[in-house]
Amino acid sequence: MVFAEETVSKLSALYESYGYMRFKMSKFEEYDTYVKNKSFLTSDNVITFTDTNGKLMAMKPDVTLSIVKSSKDEAGQTKKVYYNENVYRVSGDSHAFKEIMQSGLECIGDVGLYEISEVISIALESLKKIASCYVLDLSHLGIIAAAVDGIGVSKDGRKKLLACFGSKNVCGAEEILAEEGVNEKDAAVIIKLMSFSGIPSVVLPELQKLSNAEMAPYIQELETILSVVGDENVRIDFSVINDMRYYNGIVFQGFVKDVPKCVLSGGQYDPLLKQMRRNAKAIGFAVYLDELKEPAKRGTDVDVVLLFNEKTPINNIFEAAKSLRAAGKKVIVEKSVPQNIIYGEVVKL
């Protein structure tokens, strides 16, 4: 827990240095806030209860929806907030409800290339606060949509192809493209795009070779953003793909060494605001603190295991332990050597 608290403190200081304000919310929200956008949530399982005034309430499964609900459209303005909150969701491991710690930020309003670049930069700095070895996988849904929509596949075929992007299922994509009657040239573009994964300096030139009139503006946008944030610790990977009913443009996931799952994810979610009848644009990300494990302890837990038996006078035990601690030793007093601890030496009385 100490490790998580230290991480939260570091991330909070980072977000405040960019002018993001702390957003605090109740553990409970009206269920109506979530029911209209259930598919935006990681899970549609929500803990509900009836309040004393008869309203159906929910233990919050998400923070973004609450922040969006609390903001207003103001021309030329952005709402920049960060949060440290617990959300309540079904765990993928236990399939039971779990309290999950999250930190993150949201930028809502008049969001353009600067704001997008700023959020990506903060995401990179967040990963750096967590670990020295990290990578941010970056994708652009505009490029994917332009490529897929330009080959004339059916609605069902489009859905299946997008799923193949997410899983890098090249064989599956080839079957779908053949079934849809897509010509070899267009099919090759889709397969090539799906296979891209690497540093921007390598991927961007290859991406330009595939560019057409529909893809070009999005590729240019991606290049502009990367020219600002740099390509260190960034990898372009078009398998990073979110629900396109809610997300558009740049999406990303962050990974750190020794953690098998992504510890940070985010992106632009303009369609969500449009669905909520808002004119604003938005981008944000969340850091999944529960995925982070405290680094293994180095050195010893105690310097001395001081052993005594029933015949040892209590005064002798106290004096021996006191003397060792006075010498700067960490001492544990036991009748036998404890298991699962690392110790320096054993002293028997």
SS (HEC) of the chain: CHHHHHHHHHHHHHHHHCCCEECCCCCEEECHHHHCCHHHCCCCCCCEEECCCCCEEEECCCCHHHHHHHCCCCCCCEEEEEEEEEEEEECCCCCCEEEEEEEEEEEEECCCHHHHHHHHHHHHHHHHHHCCCEEEEEEEHHHHHHHHHCCCCCHHHHHHHHHHHHHCCHHHHHHHHHHCCCCHHHHHHHHHHHHCEECHHHHHHHHHHHCCCCCHHHHHHHHHHHHHHCCCCEEEECCCCCCCCCCEEEEEEEEECCCCCCCEEEEECHHHHHHCCCCCEEEEEEEEHHHCCCCCCCCCCEEEEEECCCCCCHHHHHHHHHHHHHCCCCEEEECCCCCCCCEEEEEEC
Asked, for residue 110, whether it belongs to a domain, the answer is yes
Tell whether 11 is covered by a domain: yes
pLDDT (tens, 9 = 90+) of the chain, 349 residues, equals: 446 778 899 999 999 999 999 988 766 666 666 666 665 665 566 667 677 677 776 767 678 888 888 888 888 999 999 999 877 666 555 556 667 788 999 999 999 999 999 999 999 999 999 999 999 999 999 999 999 999 999 999 999 999 999 999 999 999 999 999 999 999 999 999 999 999 999 999 999 999 899 999 999 999 999 999 998 899 999 999 887 888 999 999 999 988 888 999 999 999 989 988 889 999 999 998 877 765 555 567 889 998 888 888 898 889 988 999 999 999 999 988 888 788 889 988 8
Total structural domains in the chain? 3
Q: Which residue has the tokens 């629900």?
A: 243
Give the pLDDT score at 37. 64
User: What gap in Å lies between CA 52 and CA 49, rounded to an integer?
Assistant: 10
Tell me how far apart the alpha carbons of residues 335 and 157 are, in angstroms, rounded to a whole number.
70
| Domain membership flag for residue 242 | yes
Amino acid at residue number 286: A
Q: What is the pLDDT of residue 92?
A: 56
Please check whether residues 97 and 142 belong to one and the same domain.
no
Residues near 31 by beta carbon (within 8 Å), at least 6 away in sequence: 46, 48, 56, 57, 58
| Pair (108, 175) in one structural domain | no
Whether residues 76 and 152 share a domain: the answer is no
Q: How confident is the model at residue 253, as a pLDDT?
A: 96
**273 within a domain of the structure (yes/no):** yes
**262 within some domain:** no
pLDDT, residue 2, reads: 47
What is the CATH number for 93? 3.30.930.10
Side chain identity at 95, as an amino acid letter? H
Q: Give the per-residue pLDDT at 72.
A: 87
Domain containing residue 169? 134-256
Domain shared by 289 and 309, yes or no: no
Report yes or no on 159 lying in a domain. Answer: yes
Predicted local confidence at residue 137, as pLDDT? 96
- 245 in any annotated domain: yes
Please report whether residue 123 resides in a domain: no
- 306 and 290 in a single domain? The answer is no
